[in-house]
Amino acid sequence: MTARLITCLALLAPLSLVGVALLASRERGRNPTRLERALGAATALGLAVSFVEVAWLVLSHLPSGGAVQKLGLIRLDGLSVTMAAMVSLLVAVVGRYSATYLDGDQRHGEFLGRLAAAGAAVELLVVSNHLLLFWIAWVATSLCLHRLLLFHPERPRAVVAARKKFIVARIGDLLLAAAFVLIWRRLGTADMSELLSRSGSEELVGVLIACAALLKSAQFPTHGWLLEVMETPTPVSALLHAGILNAGPFLVLRFAPLFVESRAPAAILVVAGGFTAVFASSAMLTQPSVKVALGYSSAAHMGFMLFVCGLGVFPAAALHLVAHSFYKAHAFLSAGSTVEATLAARIRAPERRGSPRRAAVSFLVAGATYVGVAHVLGMSPWENPSLVVVGAVVVMGLAQLFATGLADGGRLVPLPSSTSEARRRLRQRGAPATNWRNRRGTIDSVPLRVAALAAFVALAFFGLEELTRRALAGALPPLVDPPPSILMLGVSVVMVWGLAAWMQMVGLGGSSPRMARLRVHLRHGFYANALFDRIVGSIQANPPFTSHRGTRS
């Protein structure tokens, strides 16, 4: 009886958000204050339900991943409860932010209704335990996002982005539908808990699901629409990058057992996700627009999550998913106040750029420290190769910070944390005190500081990964070493990653013609978006882009 009651409670969160959407449709957005209160109550209810579900999972002595199948359509485990709580919190934050952002807008209430509908679709997606219900929620999530992207239909760039996203999403929907039909015909059941426990090596099904996840997460070469949605209101961008975009990695995490014994799907995730992560993180540094750079950042993070899933380190991918969601929500909702901070960072960029020698020292010290910490913790590259590879990427990703510390004479000078701090540094521009090259630190302390930071990162990674593994035990498969071919692909991607990190530390602003050409190609995203524009025909189908001085983006 208790299990059935808890399972019914899981439906309260999406149903309450559906009620807000219906209320907005009935009132046609005429009373935004009332809708704000209704949305706040719905999200608070969703958070309360999530806490009750977590308490019940713990107190009932079930493994955190134990699914409740009393009603058949709903699945409760550590992953679904975590995602549901995260979505409720994100919708609450975005809704509260929109109260100020859209204050005075005649369509504010309509926006809240569309936001609630999108949140309901995602909530239903993460708790679904039936293939048909999961697919319906998957499609509904995309359609609700499409309505949010077209909130300003008078903006041509927003229309172009929505059109391209619609085409990519429909292809992904068809691929996922084909995968579900195949797995239903082979296993004879649409119950996800049952089929995941019985599934073995399903190469074709895994390939279809992997491709659907790649399309959902704006991976190369279909990433262009993600860069053009910046014409939509900022709350939409926050919900997209922090919530809906994560549906791709969540799809892989939910069907993780299919990827454990299948090589082709894992190879697709490793290659496509790894390449997108390297490409997008490099292209991000060449973008003059802060929001476009954040778009490339999201594509890179999605690629890294899928890369980690391909290597079979699913708890690390789940941890990254949650952390990235909150980080990107904060980044977008504070994008307007961090423009000056970004400008201040760019002013200091030439002085903070490391030399090849400093970059080499950074890599060697960070790498040696990471190997030492892994050895002390018993993380052998022979026993846990995939986990060690992922940890190496995490430490490598922070190597640029280590090199910055060396370039600043051993002082790890943080980036501006607020607008006032950025303004202070901008006012000091050109003053002798800001000549970072002239600063001198204690030479002997530089390697120690870099080693300490690398050790902290390594300990945090292995510790949080272990905590996530325990919390999601049963919801995700245990760590299994990937086949040698997949591991070699992962190592190859890491080597390319290292080269990209080296170039970023030394600086993409070199004066050589090759570096100049590379910067141009990266800034234009290797022209994949231009090619997609030609295929879709969006350039001919829409008038030339014009500036909208009276609107906010």
Instruction: Please state the rounded mean pLDDT for residues 115-128.
Output: 93
Q: Cα–Cα distance between 205 and 214 in angstroms, integer?
A: 14
Quick one: tokens of 505? 């530390």
Is pLDDT of 513 > 60? Answer: yes
CA-based nearest residue to 94, from 314, 326, 389, 323: 326
Is pLDDT of 489 > 70? Answer: yes
pLDDT band at 422 (very low <50, low <70, confident <90, very high): very low
212: Cβ–Cβ under 8 A, 6 or more apart, which residues?
172, 173, 175, 176, 179, 248, 251
Q: Give, as one character, the DSSP assignment of residue 475.
A: T
Instruction: Please state the rounded mean pLDDT for residues 1-24.
Output: 83
Instruction: Please state the rounded mean pLDDT for residues 336-362.
Output: 56
Instruction: Please state the rounded mean pLDDT for residues 477-491.
Output: 80
Preceding peptide of 221 cis, ω within 30°? yes
* Cβ atoms within 10 Å, residue 356: 10
Helix (H, G, I), strand (E, B) or coil at 103: coil
Q: Cα–Cα distance between 331 and 315 in angstroms, integer?
A: 24
pLDDT for residue 175: 96
Q: Cα–Cα distance between 526 and 280 in angstroms, integer?
A: 10
Q: Cα–Cα distance between 517 and 528 in angstroms, integer?
A: 16
Helix (H, G, I), strand (E, B) or coil at 74: strand
**53-62, 332-341, 465-474 — which one is most confidently predicted on average?**
465-474
Q: Cα–Cα distance between 388 and 297 in angstroms, integer?
A: 24
Is pLDDT of 252 > 90? Answer: yes
Contact 8, 71 (CB under 8 A): yes
Type of residue numbered 418: S
Helix (H, G, I), strand (E, B) or coil at 8: helix
pLDDT for residue 416: 43
Supply the DSSP string of 161-212, one letter for each residue: HHHHHHHHHHHHHHHHHHHHHHHHHHHS--BHHHHHHH----HHHHHHHHHH
Longest dimension (CA), the chain: 74
Phi and psi angles of residue 476, each rounded to the nearest 5 degrees, phi first? -120, 150
The four Cα atoms 192, 197, 202, 207 give a dihedral, to 10 degrees, of 50
Quick one: tokens of 517? 């050409």
Instruction: Please state the rounded mean pLDDT for residues 420-432.
Output: 48
Strand partners, 74: 128
Instruction: Please state the rounded mean pLDDT for residues 253-269.
Output: 89
| 425 or 86, higher pLDDT | 86
pLDDT tens for each residue of 95-108: 888 888 888 778 88
Q: Give, as one character, the DSSP assignment of residue 280.
A: H
pLDDT band at 413 (very low <50, low <70, confident <90, very high): very low
pLDDT band at 419 (very low <50, low <70, confident <90, very high): very low
Give, in order, the Cα–Cα distances in Å from 135 to each of 88, 183, 239, 253: 21, 13, 20, 15
Give, in order, the Cα–Cα distances in Å from 502 to each of 150, 270, 360, 404, 521: 40, 21, 8, 12, 18
Supply the DSSP string of 321-389, one letter for each residue: HHHHHHHHHHHHHTTGGGHHHHHHHHHHHHHHPPPHHHHHHHHHHHHHHHHHHHHHTT--TTTSHHHHH
